[in-house]
Amino acid sequence: GDGFRSGFLAGQSWGLGLERSAQVGSLLATLVLETVGTQEYQVKVADFLDRLTDSYGADAEAEVRPHLIVE
Q: What is the pLDDT of residue 9?
A: 98
Contact 41, 22 (CB under 8 A): no
What's the pTM? Answer: 0.91
pLDDT tens-place string over residues 15-40 = 999 999 999 999 999 998 888 877 77
Catalytic positions, please? 2
Domain boundaries, the chain: 2-67
Instruction: Please count the other Cβ atoms lying within 10 Å of the Cβ belonging to residue 16.
Output: 19
Share of the chain above pLDDT 90, in %: 73
Contact 7, 27 (CB under 8 A): yes
Distance CA 42, CA 45 (A): 10
